[in-house]
Structure 1
């Protein structure tokens, strides 16, 4: 392999892959016998940064890009964030060193994914910095509106405050690589990469390897205990290198400069076992229309009139796929305030999720989900830090969906059954001077020490996916000051 790097503390998975057993971070070392797909040479850093920001913005955000030196060899360092695939929240941070040559490249990459409780770095820093200072134009390409925003929370000055955050770990690893990694001198002497539109520069004569070298760091070896000197020295020509297979990464994005290998075929989905559907209401059953509360930890509150009852969901995803997303039938509180509505059959312990809109043939559809009636004590015990965060992050996604269909959402006690009244948090996207603005308003105003609110009754920011979804955490912190149990709250919708 052309790059040698320090593998201390890493467990080797195969010849080209290492894992950190403590946090799951993964390092891969790859050689590509292809012309690099970089949009500019390392000599034109402004264009390289701009074009990389544009490309990466389609799937995430380029946090930073620099030309660094591994030993005496220039390399491109990229730090990228992309959404966690197949997850409602969370990010993967990718840091890659690319040593590009005219017809090949070597890439050393770390990927560090958020695990468990995600978004805490952002939540804490938004409270410190304020929403108005959070999202910024991209410094390399101000016109780019990426899938993930460029924001103040990714600044390296905050890494010491969040030493175990994946972005902080990635930067610490990158600094160590710059200090300790080396590039095989024969690979380093190959002609440099030049884009097709850039004229070739005169090449210096091939450098000869020094007669004596400093001890090389541990590098890509077949086993962790093997002598790495052969790998450090490297083959004499690119044809002698073999691109190793790399495991499928958690992120479905490859930074520019790293040519992706052919993807592994997806395994065939197993045939469903076709379990019996839950029995619906029997003929003659009495259905009661009820208002669902805020689901937390697999439990669903149902308001039967003024009484709040508690139920454990057998299929939470079937409920969460419709609840709060504009898909269910509604009941009005006023002519501009509405709540979701479901039909409860207590005898069969099921709810029917009634579709909001009629089918083309005029019929009204719905799906049936089985529930189990539980005590308030059991439901309350399901409330933990993780389940509470999950519920309020979902509220942020509900707010985004509401904004996309021209509505706002209010979090308030289920006992509110008329006009807007305290306490509440209202989340909306509004127009201000011709631009969309994410707004969170609450009453009563939270105490000055409330995270994110800082004693104000309203928080605004330019409307991005991230700033709108952050309203869920704002609502959680405001709710914590009310003295109301989260399972006794409801969501109310209204036009923008």
Structure 2
């Protein structure tokens, strides 16, 4: 447990879940071994509040958000209100998030209205009419994002000055619980020692599909939306970004430094950072289109041409070991030792059984992989062939393209022929 709460007055229901028998409020502790997906840093509270209000508007409404301190470390305090899914009434979720560079811990309380609902709102509405002569001042634009139209609009009943008048209301209980947590909660020493949120994180770069870019922290994948996808795609695969060697091989994949709090990705020291914003897995997976996927493999074909121009081999493979050892390899080889007229090779493992075009090739000599060699008329021909051959092979894999990554390997055959054909130095 990363945040250690005071559980006095609660009964344990599970390893990290406690229930208040008097109110039914549920306290739970969570740890997320992923780069925090906060939309801004804790040092930019106005932007953080605005983006959180925008994010919650579709489902409910953000009551309040503050930057606080838990056991001496910065944290985000939030209260969100939501409609109950199965009956009239509101539920409130109070949470404290302690973000770190590659993980976060959250302690939250869920409190819901009982059978009688709307008591707080009715009381405050009556006060509003009494004070102003009209109900118009009861609801107002959200204080953090006035341009939004939340499903549950911000209103005067959300104000903490009414907590004392209705101490048993779930919103009042949430604020009382938060004050107690801030005074009593402690952080586990090993969690407290982790680098702070906002520290740059080294990431491996996945495949840009539509506006989304997967960024890997070791074997954990996070999703980010690119502000200018075309500009990022123009840099990736062109040997302009930093690279990370793959242990035990002569291969490398593209890497970068992610600044989560700033929402920027530094692709190389000599390149300006690009803007990115965190999104959920569900958003990325459900938002891409068939056109996005076709565009991805057309782009991979273009990247294969660029790699060939650098005398490199391009390899498409799953990033996570659990996804298997499938690969598609694209390269050029010298024809009869002449690098000036190379032929192109696309090799796939496993054999793409049932794949378009691949099924028309002669039976492979190696039962574990299949290959196709051809002479390209020009770069456009090579890009189109490599991209579509790769697409058809990957369609036979049980791996989503988001989980794939490009690796680069020196093309020794082309480099040897280049050295052999180089003019001798003058005597």
Which TM-score bucket, shorter chain as reference?
A: 0.3 to 0.5
Higher relative contact order (CA 8 A, sep 6+): 1
- TM-score with structure 1 setting the length: 0.39
- TM-score with structure 2 setting the length: 0.45
